Amino acid sequence: MKINNILISQPLNVNGASHAPYIKLIKNKNVNIDFRSFIEVKEASSNDVRKQKINFSDFTVVIFISKKSVDHYFRLAESMRFRVPISMKYICQTKTIAYYLQKYIVFRKRKIHIGNKSFQDILPYIEKHSKEKFLLPSSDILKPDIPDMLNKQNVFWKRAILYKMTSSDLSDLKHVYYDILVFFSPVEIKSLFDNFPNFDQNNIKIATFGKNTLDAAYKAGLKIDIKVPTPEFPSMAMALEKYIKKLNTIIY
């Protein structure tokens, strides 16, 4: 089976560098790659936040686990006329999130702690500052181990659901065929079956990024051909390049 068409279940970020490797693949491997978001974000309103009995002024530290949570925290702070004080402290799970936070604040004037990669990396800091009051902005989908880890710290914390993840309408793809479908999160797997309940994989190859996505794909009954990350292939683009090279060099 020769690889000609690939669908990435995320939108193309024309202003960012994250999709550059895929553009390179298109040119070097002579394949077509489409980008399509499988999920849509529904913004929470100020009233939605109040119904959760969340008052931003009650907290001294905000924990950011995604760039979207940064956007929606400051969006709602503005709509609720909450002036985020300079004294507010921030915890960012990764450097990428911390760099993104600069869109809203000036680093040199704020107290920011940056984790390495996983949520566990920031737990020692939370434990050290147990007298603080922590706010965790998130979507309606959250890894269950995160609340568990926070509860074990014996600190005051609350989760604020500031946006919801819903499945996109993919009905226009019903009669479009792709050789490889690429997924980066469990909600994208859910969206596939929300749109196509009777989805039959047949000869379609499935690529997943991360353990949670892989588990969701297996649970949905999919056969996984490309699993990322691995020591050999830390990125999806690298894994796809090797896979395409392997299949497309076969003489038909």
Q: Is 148 helix (H, G, I), strand (E, B) or coil?
A: helix
Q: 235 with 152, same domain?
A: no
What's the Rg (C-alpha) of the chain? 21
Examine the domain organization and report whether 173 and 240 are in the same domain. yes
> Is the pLDDT reported for residue 117 higher than 70?
yes
Residue 138 belongs to a domain with what CATH number? 3.40.50.10090
Identify whether residues 236 and 178 lie together within a single domain.
Answer: yes
Q: What is the pLDDT of residues 170-190, one digit of tens each?
A: 999 999 999 999 999 999 999
In this structure, what token pair is assigned to residue 174? Answer: 């019903």
Query: What's the CA gap between 10 and 34, in Å, rounded?
Result: 9
Partner residues linked to 209 by β-bridges = 228
What is d(CA 125, CA 133) in angstroms, rounded to the nearest whole number? 13
Using alpha carbons, list the distances in angstroms from residue 18 to 13, 70, 236, 240.
7, 19, 11, 15
Residues 50 and 158 in one domain: yes
Residues 31-46 have pLDDT tens digits of 999 999 999 999 999 9
Q: Which two tokens stand for residue 81?
A: 């006329």
Answer yes or no: do 232 and 153 share one domain: no
Q: Are 50 and 162 in contact (CB under 8 A)?
A: no
111-114 and 89-92: which strand pairing?
parallel
In this prediction the pTM is: 0.78
In one letter, which amino acid is 196?
A: F
What pLDDT score does 251 carry? 47
pLDDT for 252 equals 47
Q: How far apart are CA 119 and CA 116, in angstroms?
A: 9
Count of structural domains, the chain:
2
Boundaries of domain holding 223 = 5-38+169-248
How far is it, in rounded angstroms, from Cα 33 to Cα 7? Answer: 6
**In a shared domain, residues 66 and 34:** no
Same domain, 55 and 141: yes
Claim to verify: residue 148 and residue 112 sit in the same structural domain: yes
Residue 19 pLDDT > 90: no
12 plus 118 within the same structural domain:
no
3-class SS of residue 122: helix
pLDDT in tens, 52-103: 999 999 999 999 999 999 999 999 999 999 999 999 999 999 999 999 999 9
